[in-house]
Amino acid sequence: MLFWYRSNTHCYLEAPEWLKLYASLAVETPFLTARSPLGVKLHLFGFTIPGLWHDVDHAINSPGFLAGHSLTDLEAHCRKAHAQLLDWIEDYKEHCVRLALTRLPATELAYRRHWYAMTLKCQIFVNRLMATICEADRIALEHDSQALANSILDLQKQPSDRHSWLFSGQELGFAYAVLVGRDNWEEDVSNTSPEEQRHAARRRYNAWSGSLRAEVNC
């Protein structure tokens, strides 16, 4: 997936035929595996993120954005992605409750830890994309992103398997980048003109997006 994040393009795996094929890999098992429906559902969502990022990037940096052209369809896509992540969290909670009184293997705990952290990152990512094009919701979305970033830091305190250091390092870098950028995303521009607000949104987005792409390229 890193190629599509670096190159700012849609991922070919978001094509309907590939999504259908990947979805067919899901296999119900008592404990989580790489083919569990919960994990397959999360990865199917992940295939769409590079495309959503590309579309927001294209819109925010086009002349039409500063001219105030409507972004209604793109906003709807962001809100749909946000809702899908909340649905996944509910499925995750149901799974955990179902096994609450069961002795869990290490693999189950590892998948839970990794997928939950991945979901927190995706939520923050979608929040930031949506906040870029939905000025009225920006502050509330940023408050949520800050809370999610702190949840990622809290995860670092939990026991993890010996191969998790790579994911943990990526999580920390992502969370700290969100926390450090808080002032920019909570900037009060309510007393400025719509055009100035759009300029501020473009500057804010490009600073954040640029730092993420630089990190992926490392």
Mean pLDDT within 31-44: 96
Q: What percent of the chain has pLDDT over 70?
A: 89
DSSP string over 53-113: HHHHHHHHTSHHHHTT---HHHHHHHHHHHHHHHHHHHHHHHHHHHTTTSPPPHHHHHHHH
Residue with tokens 């039409």: 64
What digits encode the pLDDT tens for the residues 149-180? 999 999 887 766 655 545 567 788 888 889 99
Q: CA nearest 30: which of 143, 107, 86?
A: 107
Joined together, the tokens standing for residue 15 give 């094509």
Per the prediction, the chain carries an average pLDDT of: 89
Counted domains in the chain = 1
**In 10 A of CB 72, how many CB atoms?**
8
Range(s) of the domain holding residue 197: 2-217
**Amino acid (1-letter code) at residue 195:** E
Kindly report the pTM of this predicted structure.
0.90
Task: Give the count of alpha carbons within 13 A of 171, CB side only.
Answer: 24
- Is residue 46's pLDDT more than 80? yes
For residue 92, what are its two tokens?
A: 């995750």
Q: Which residue has the tokens 């954040």?
A: 208
Backbone angles phi, psi at 191, to 5 degrees: -95, 10
State how far the Cα of 57 lies from the Cα of 41, in Å rounded to an integer.
25
